[in-house]
C-alpha cells in the first residue's frame, strides 16, 4: 500500500568522508597557522599578508577551492570551511575570505566571459597574491539600499562608464586589486536602477579614503573607497549593457503600471534573494567564533580550581556551558538547513537564510560574553583569547544586515505584509 505522504530528502547530520576531510584540513590550518598569528595581527591592525600567502600555498586561498565548495550539492562545503577558519580567528578569517564576496557578485551578475576574466584576477597565485573588494554600503546608505548616491553615467561616445561617489565599510577597500562597485544608473528607479561594475587595478579616479580603526576583526582591512570621475570601459559593466537596458525597461514599466493602478504586482528584488542565500556563510562564521569561545571556556572551567575544586563542578558554571553548547549546535543546524536549501534551489518560505544569520550572530555575542564571565578577570585581559573573540563577535549583529534587518526580512516573509 503506498504511503499517504511523500518522504522529502534532507541533509544527513553524519558528514561524509569528503566533508570530514575538508573539516580536518581547514581546522589543522587554523591550529597551525591562524591561531599562532591571531593576537599579533589583531594588535597590529594590519592585513595579514603572510598568513594569506600560507593559505594560498596549500590551495585554501584560490579560485579552484572556493568554486569547488560553492558547487557542493549538499551546500555544506562553504559553512564547514567558514566555521573552522573562524574558529581559528575571525579577523584573519575575514582577510582570507573577504575576496569571495566580490567573486560571488561577479559570478551572480556577470557574463560567462566576465567571470572567466575577472574572478581569477581576484585571487592571483602563491607569490603573486591578489585580493578583491565588494563595495555597496555608503555613508548615508547602509541598510537603505534605495538611498545609494554613487552614480554611474554612460559616455556613449567613448563607450565608458564614469563613476562618482563614496563607498564605506568596504572589506579590502582601497588595497584591493579588483573592486566591484554597485552604483545608480537611473536615480528615478531607486534600488531597481542600480548596476554593478568591475574596477580593474590601477584605474585612475579610485582611491582609498578613511581606514577604520575597529573594535574587532582588526586583521581585516576596512576602509572607504572614493570614486572621482573614475572611467572604466563599457565591458566592465557586469552583465553587459544590453541586459541592463532590458532590466531598466522592465523596471520602468513596472513603476508606470504601479503608479497608474493597472499593475505592479511584485516588489521583490533579485539582489535581496541573493543576499538571503549568502547569509548562511556569514552565520557559519559566527558559529565558529562562538565554538572557539566555548571550547576555551570549557577547558578553563575544568582546570581552574577555586575553593578546592574545579569551577565546572559548580552548577552556575556547568549550566552556563550547557546553554552555550546547546545554542551553538542550534545555530549550526539553522545554518546547515539554509545552506542546503540554497544549494537545492528551494524557496525560503520563512526567510531561513536570515534566520540562520540572525540566530548565529546573536549566539556569538551571548556565548563569547558567557566565556568572558566564566574566565572572570582573566577573560577581560588580552592575555586570554576570549576577550578578542568577544570583540570580533560584535560585528555579526551589524554587518551583512543587522539583526534588526534580519528580523524585518523574516517578519515580512512570514506575514506577507510590508512591515516597516
- For position 248, which CATH number holds? 2.40.110.10
Mean pLDDT in residue range 367-388: 97
pLDDT interval class at 420 (50, 70, 90) = confident
The pLDDT of residue 13 is: 72
* DSSP-derived secondary structure letter, 32: I
The pLDDT of residue 257 is: 76
- Same domain (yes/no): 305, 359: yes
- Same domain (yes/no): 124, 140: no
- Same domain (yes/no): 142, 122: no
The pLDDT of residue 276 is: 60
In a domain, 123, yes or no: yes
Cα gap 402→302, rounded to integer Å: 36
| Span 140-184, pLDDT tens digits | 876 677 788 999 999 999 999 999 999 999 999 999 999 999 999
Mean pLDDT in residue range 103-128: 95
User: How buried is residue 334: exposed, middle or buried, by Cβ count under 10 Å (0-12/13-18/19+)?
Assistant: buried
pLDDT > 50? residue 131: yes
The pLDDT of residue 260 is: 58
Cell of residue 330, nine digits: 542550534
122 contacts: CB under 8 Å, gap ≥ 6: 63, 99, 102, 103, 106, 130, 131, 132, 177, 178
**C-alpha gyration radius of the chain:** 23
Among the listed residues 396, 391, 386, the one whose alpha carbon sits nearest the alpha carbon of residue 284: 396
In a domain, 7, yes or no: no
The pLDDT of residue 10 is: 59
Q: Regarding predicted confidence, which is higher, 26 or 6? A: 26
- Same domain (yes/no): 87, 148: no
pLDDT > 70? residue 275: no
- Give the structural domain span for 242: 133-260
- Same domain (yes/no): 235, 287: no
The pLDDT of residue 259 is: 64
* Phi, psi dihedrals of residue 387, rounded to the nearest 5°: -65, -45
In a domain, 200, yes or no: yes
In a domain, 3, yes or no: no
In a domain, 265, yes or no: no
- Same domain (yes/no): 274, 411: yes
Asked if 224 and 168 touch (Cβ cutoff 8 Å), the reply is: yes
| Span 17-62, pLDDT tens digits | 999 999 999 999 999 999 999 999 999 999 999 999 999 999 999 9
Least confident of 169-183, 242-256, 269-283, 352-366: 269-283
Cα gap 301→161, rounded to integer Å: 59
Average pLDDT, the chain: 91
- Same domain (yes/no): 255, 277: no
Asked if 356 and 283 touch (Cβ cutoff 8 Å), the reply is: yes
- DSSP-assigned states of every residue in 292-336: HHHHHHHHHHHH-EETTEEGGGSHHHHHHHHHHHHHHHHHHHHHH
| Residues involved in catalysis | 400
Cell of residue 417, nine digits: 505584509
The pLDDT of residue 254 is: 83
pLDDT > 70? residue 3: no
Cα gap 106→198, rounded to integer Å: 8
- Same domain (yes/no): 29, 43: yes
- Same domain (yes/no): 339, 238: no
pLDDT interval class at 14 (50, 70, 90) = confident
In a domain, 323, yes or no: yes
| Span 61-107, pLDDT tens digits | 999 999 999 889 999 999 999 999 999 999 999 999 999 999 999 99
Return the CATH number at 62: 1.10.540.10
b/e per residue, 157-181, with b = 16+ CB within 10 A? eeebbbbbbbbbbbbbbbebbbbbb
Instruction: Report the percent of the chain where pLDDT is more than 90.
Output: 81
pLDDT > 50? residue 382: yes
In a domain, 63, yes or no: yes
Entry pTM: 0.92
Final residue before a domain boundary, out of 232, 260, 288: 260
Cα gap 419→410, rounded to integer Å: 10
- Same domain (yes/no): 144, 115: no
Final residue before a domain boundary, out of 128, 152, 184: 128
- Same domain (yes/no): 276, 349: yes
b/e per residue, 337-361, with b = 16+ CB within 10 A? bbbbbbbeeeebeebbbbbbbbbbb
State how many domains the chain has.
Answer: 3
- Same domain (yes/no): 200, 330: no
Final residue before a domain boundary, out of 260, 284, 311: 260
Mean pLDDT in residue range 117-127: 96
State the Cα torsion 407-404-92-179 to the nearest 10°: 100
In a domain, 377, yes or no: yes
Mean pLDDT in residue range 185-202: 92
Return the CATH number at 326: 1.20.140.10
Mean pLDDT in residue range 361-381: 98
Among the listed residues 236, 239, 253, 149, the one whose alpha carbon sits nearest the alpha carbon of residue 191: 149
Amino acid at each position: 500500500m503506498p504511503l499517504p505522504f511523500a518522504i522529502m530528502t534532507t541533509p544527513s547530520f553524519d558528514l561524509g568522508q569528503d566533508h570530514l576531510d575538508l573539516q580536518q584540513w581547514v581546522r589543522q590550518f587554523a591550529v597551525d597557522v591562524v591561531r599562532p598569528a591571531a593576537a599579533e595581527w589583531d594588535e597590529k591592525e594590519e592585513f595579514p599578508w603572510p598568513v594569506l600567502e600560507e593559505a594560498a600555498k596549500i590551495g585554501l586561498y584560490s579560485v579552484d577551492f572556493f568554486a569547488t565548495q560553492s558547487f557542493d550539492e549538499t551546500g555544506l562545503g562553504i559553512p564547514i570551511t567558514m566555521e573552522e577558519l573562524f574558529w581559528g580567528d575571525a579577523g584573519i578569517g575575514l582577510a582570507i575570505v573577504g575576496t569571495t564576496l566580490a567573486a560571488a557578485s561577479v559570478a551572480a551578475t556577470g557574463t560567462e566571459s566576465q567571470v572567466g576574466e575577472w574572478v581569477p584576477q581576484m585571487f592571483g597565485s602563491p607569490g603573486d597574491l591578489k585580493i578583491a573588494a565588494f563595495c555597496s554600503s555608503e555613508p548615508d546608505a547602509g541598510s537603505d539600499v534605495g538611498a545609494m548616491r554613487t552614480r554611474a553615467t554612460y559616455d556613449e561616445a567613448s563607450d565608458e562608464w564614469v563613476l562618482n561617489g563614496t563607498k564605506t565599510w568596504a572589506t579590502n577597500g582601497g588595497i584591493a586589486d579588483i573592486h566591484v562597485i554597485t552604483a545608480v544608473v537611473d536615480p528615478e528607479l531607486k534600488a531597481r536602477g542600480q548596476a554593478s561594475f568591475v574596477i580593474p587595478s590601477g584605474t585612475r579616479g579610485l582611491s582609498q579614503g578613511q581606514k577604520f580603526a575597529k573594535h574587532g576583526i582588526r586583521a581585516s582591512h576596512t576602509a572607504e573607497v572614493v570614486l572621482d570621475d573614475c572611467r572604466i570601459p563599457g565591458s566592465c559593466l557586469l552583465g553587459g549593457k544590453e541586459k541592463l537596458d532590458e532590466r531598466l525597461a522592465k523596471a520602468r514599466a513596472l513603476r508606470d503600471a504601479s503608479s497608474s493602478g493597472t499593475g505592479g504586482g511584485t516588489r521583490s528584488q533579485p539582489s535581496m534573494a541573493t543576499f538571503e542565500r549568502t547569509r548562511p556563510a556569514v552565520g557559519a562564521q559566527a558559529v565558529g567564533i562562538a565554538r572557539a569561545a566555548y571550547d576555551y571556556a570549557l577547558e578553563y572551567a575544568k582546570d581552574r580550581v577555586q575553593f578546592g575544586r574545579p569551577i565546572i563542578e559548580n552548577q552556575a558554571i556547568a549550566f552556563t556551558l550547557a546553554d552555550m553548547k546547546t545554542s551553538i549546535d542550534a545555530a549550526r543546524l539553522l545554518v546547515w538547513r539554509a545552506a542546503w536549501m540554497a544549494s537545492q534551489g528551494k524557496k525560503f518560505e520563512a526567510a531561513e537564510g536570515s534566520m540562520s544569520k540572525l540566530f548565529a550572530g546573536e549566539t556569538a555575542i551571548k556565548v563569547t560574553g558567557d566565556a568572558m564571565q566564566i574566565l572572570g578577570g582573566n577573560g577581560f585581559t588580552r592575555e586570554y583569547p576570549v576577550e578578542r573573540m568577544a570583540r570580533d563577535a560584535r560585528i555579526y549583529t551589524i554587518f551583512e544586515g543587522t539583526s534588526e534587518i534580519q528580523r524585518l526580512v523574516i517578519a515580512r516573509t512570514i506575514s506577507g505584509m510590508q512591515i516597516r
